[in-house]
Amino acid sequence: MAKVLCVLYDDPVGGYPESYPRDGVPGLSSYPGGQTVPSPRALDFVPGQLLGSVSGELGLRRFLEAAGHELVVTSDKEGPESVFDRELADAEVVISQPFWPAYLTAERIARAPKLKLAVTAGIGSDHVDLEAAVGAGITVAEVTYSNSISVAEHVVMMILSLVRNYLPSHDWVVKGGWNIADCVARSYDVEGMTVGTVAAGRIGLAVLRRLAPFDVDLHYTDRHRLPEETERELGLTFHGSAAAMVPVCDVVTVNAPLHPETEHLFDDDLIGTMKRGAYLVNTARAKICDRDAVVRALESGRLAGYAGDVWFPQPAPADHPWRTMPNEGMTPHISGSSLSAQARYAAGTREILECFFEGRPIRDEYLIVEGGRLAGTGAHSYSPGNATGGAVS
Ligand code: NDP
């Protein structure tokens, strides 16, 4: 019987919720494009519950223990003394979420001889050293599409809140003020602006679709061009590279995976080509942007605002400069972990585990690495090599 090691974020400071603001979440039957939602044999949770924190256990305990497996759940994941490091030695399966990633470095993989499966409960497996996983014959799988629309909604929210100066204006209300001039001296309409996305995959395209009704001029760059009818329908302008696109944009949103082609793409040079007063929203991966170049651009006014929910490392240290830089609209990594998204990726995680333990194939669209090579979605979205090495550096 297998040991399943699950690394999840901490429960709320006030304790695990006893009730929720709403009585459930809407059920979906499929995603845009027709991919079906996760379909495990059964669920041991009520959709809408907090599943991504330690006490939520992704709703997996009853199912795993009934099959005779051991489930270890912890949030303690950093350093050689951590529960994660200790339990990894004889774990067969590791599960973690990008919001609270269990960094699976080559060194950790070498110390986990029994490890056969690393599941990302969510999307984005760059916290795993994919090359090391390839070398060790570990299967890496994620729950493709489970939270793509959740992130797209967050991106639209962040674009609007930066451009309209929402967060500082809200702060004036909380402080008891009525400082309209202070609020509006940095507030614009999105209407008429040029908005570009770096990557138009599931999230990027969903962002474009959601922004189209705002009467903006939409641009994109991607490794592959979208179908002509999609370009026509949304009035999209394609650019062959980010370098070609960003100089014409008022707002740029980043929706590409982190891999060698995208690591530190937004450095001083590229940001220096953006319009003065442009906005940059990055909910993809922090290391796609050079941390200090972003701070410098906000301080100089090259960027009028930066927002996102991805940091490096995660959790971000208390003195991370993105907590205190001017005109930021940061959140912790939450966009893909709404209660709605949790219900889908917890179900997808269970589906992957059912397949793994029953010797059935895992859906191709969930596969990142299998059989010693990039596979399924991984073969399409990632390139050989590894941007993070799954490490905290
Ligand atoms: P998809 O695989 O659907 O889309 C990724 C797109 O990026 C693909 O169209 C791909 O191109 C494109 N791409 C890859 N490399 C480049 C490049 N160098 N330049 C331009 N485009 C490139 O993934 P999703 O849209 O679902 O997710 C995107 C990323 O968002 C994830 O990898 C993850 O890092 C992040 N994410 C963040 C979440 C959060 O909570 N903040 C949650 C979920 C995801 P093509 O396929 O055409 O080759």
Tell me, yes or no, whether 391 lies in a domain: no
Strand pairing category for 217-221 and 3-7? unpaired
Instruction: Take atom 5 of ligand 1 and give the residue whose Cα is closest.
Output: 201
* pLDDT confidence of residue 392: 44
Number of domains in the chain: 2
| DSSP string over 138-202 | -EEEE-TTTTHHHHHHHHHHHHHHHHTTHHHHHHHHHTT---HHHHHTT----TT-EEEEE--SH
User: Residue 393: pLDDT band by 50, 70, 90 thresholds?
Assistant: very low
Q: Of 81, 27, 32, 75, nearest to 53 (Cα)?
A: 75
Tell me, yes or no, whether 311 lies in a domain: yes
Q: Bridge-partner residues for 100, per DSSP?
A: 97
**302: buried, middle or exposed (CB in 10 Å: 19+, 13-18, 0-12)?**
buried
- The number of beta carbons lying within 10 Å of the beta carbon of residue 323 is 12
How far, in whole angstroms, is CA 47 from its chain's centroid?
A: 20
Instruction: Take atom 20 of ligand 1 and give the residue whose Cα is closest.
Output: 222
Strand pairing category for 139-142 and 117-120? parallel
pLDDT at 389 over 70: no
Tell me, yes or no, whether 72 lies in a domain: yes
Domain that holds residue 195: 148-323
- What would you measure as the largest C-alpha separation in the chain, in angstroms? 65
Tell me, yes or no, whether 194 lies in a domain: yes
* pLDDT confidence of residue 148: 97
Q: Are residues 86 and 74 part of one domain?
A: yes
Instruction: Take atom 38 of ligand 1 and give the residue whose Cα is closest.
Output: 336
Residue 315: cis peptide before it, omega within 30 degrees of 0? yes
Instruction: Take atom 6 of ligand 1 and give the residue whose Cα is closest.
Output: 201
Q: Are residues 307 and 158 part of one domain?
A: yes
| 111-122 residue pLDDT tens | 999 999 999 999
The C-alpha atoms of residue 89 and residue 99 are separated, in whole angstroms, by 23
The C-alpha atoms of residue 33 and residue 288 are separated, in whole angstroms, by 27
pLDDT at 388 over 70: no
* pLDDT confidence of residue 382: 79
Report, as residue numbers or ranges, the catalytic residues: 147, 285, 314, 333
Q: What is the CA radius of gyration of the chain?
A: 21
Residues with CB under 6 A from ligand 1: 122-124, 147-148, 151, 198-204, 221-224, 255-258, 261-262, 283-285, 309-310, 333, 335-336, 380-381
* pLDDT confidence of residue 381: 79
pLDDT at 79 over 90: no
Q: Are residues 34 and 98 part of one domain?
A: yes
Q: For a ligand 1 pocket test, name from 120, 207, 210, 223 the mutation site with the most ligand atoms within 8 angstroms of its C-beta.
A: 223
In contact, 270 and 242? CB cutoff 8 Å = yes
User: Residue 72: pLDDT band by 50, 70, 90 thresholds?
Assistant: very high
Instruction: Take atom 40 of ligand 1 and give the residue whose Cα is closest.
Output: 336
Helix (H) or strand (E) holding 305: strand 303-308
Q: The dihedral of CA 288, 294, 297, 303: what is its sign?
A: positive
| DSSP string over 93-121 | EEEEBTTB---B-HHHHHT-TT--EEEES
The CATH number given to whatever domain includes residue 163 is 3.40.50.720
**1: buried, middle or exposed (CB in 10 Å: 19+, 13-18, 0-12)?**
exposed
Instruction: Take atom 7 of ligand 1 and give the residue whose Cα is closest.
Output: 256
pLDDT mean over 78-103: 96
SS3 276: coil
* pLDDT confidence of residue 383: 74
Residue 32: cis peptide before it, omega within 30 degrees of 0? no
SS3 92: coil
pLDDT mean over 63-79: 97
The C-alpha atoms of residue 265 and residue 287 are separated, in whole angstroms, by 8
Q: Are residues 366 and 276 part of one domain?
A: no
Q: Of 97, 99, 89, nearest to 118 (Cα)?
A: 97
| 210-265 residue pLDDT tens | 999 999 999 999 999 999 999 999 999 999 999 999 999 999 999 999 988 999 99
* Distance from Cα 254 to the centre of ligand 1, integer Å: 9
Taking the CA of residue 126 as reference, the ligand 1 atom at the shortest distance is 34
pLDDT at 375 over 90: yes
Instruction: Take atom 8 of ligand 1 and give the residue whose Cα is closest.
Output: 201
Q: For a ligand 1 pocket test, name from 253, 381, 386 the mutation site with the most ligand atoms within 8 angstroms of its C-beta.
A: 381
Q: Are residues 211 and 113 part of one domain?
A: no
Q: Are residues 135 and 154 part of one domain?
A: no
* Distance from Cα 173 to the centre of ligand 1, integer Å: 37
* Distance from Cα 256 to the centre of ligand 1, integer Å: 3
* pLDDT confidence of residue 235: 98
Which amino acid appears at position 62 of this protein?
A: R
* pLDDT confidence of residue 125: 93
- Backbone torsions φ then ψ of 195, nearest 5 degrees: -120, 130
| 19-49 residue pLDDT tens | 999 999 999 999 999 999 999 999 999 999 9
Percent of the chain with pLDDT over 70: 98
| 132-188 residue pLDDT tens | 999 999 999 999 999 999 999 999 999 999 999 999 999 999 999 999 999 999 999
Taking the CA of residue 148 as reference, the ligand 1 atom at the shortest distance is 26
Q: Are residues 171 and 22 part of one domain?
A: no
| 304-334 residue pLDDT tens | 999 999 999 989 999 999 999 999 999 999 9
* pLDDT confidence of residue 390: 52
Q: Are residues 228 and 270 part of one domain?
A: yes
Taking the CA of residue 154 as reference, the ligand 1 atom at the shortest distance is 41
Specify the range with the lowest mean pLDDT, choosing from 112-116, 135-139, 338-342, 389-393: 389-393
Q: Are residues 346 and 302 part of one domain?
A: no
pLDDT at 387 over 60: no
Taking the CA of residue 259 as reference, the ligand 1 atom at the shortest distance is 15
Q: Of 51, 55, 22, nearest to 38 (Cα)?
A: 51
What does the buried/exposed string (b/e) look like for 54-88 if buried means 16 or more CB atoms within 10 Å of the residue's CB?
bebbbbbbebbeeeebebebbbebeeeebebbebb
Tell me, yes or no, whether 207 lies in a domain: yes
In contact, 64 and 15? CB cutoff 8 Å = no
Q: For a ligand 1 pocket test, name from 222, 253, 377 the mutation site with the most ligand atoms within 8 angstroms of its C-beta.
A: 222
Q: Are residues 64 and 188 part of one domain?
A: no
Tell me, yes or no, whether 235 lies in a domain: yes
Tell me, yes or no, whether 251 lies in a domain: yes
* pLDDT confidence of residue 140: 98
Q: For a ligand 1 pocket test, name from 123, 127, 140, 156 the mutation site with the most ligand atoms within 8 angstroms of its C-beta.
A: 123
pLDDT mean over 282-296: 97
Q: Are residues 155 and 290 part of one domain?
A: yes
pLDDT at 69 over 80: yes
In contact, 74 and 3? CB cutoff 8 Å = no
Q: Are residues 354 and 269 part of one domain?
A: no
Tell me, yes or no, whether 389 lies in a domain: no
The C-alpha atoms of residue 160 and residue 188 are separated, in whole angstroms, by 9
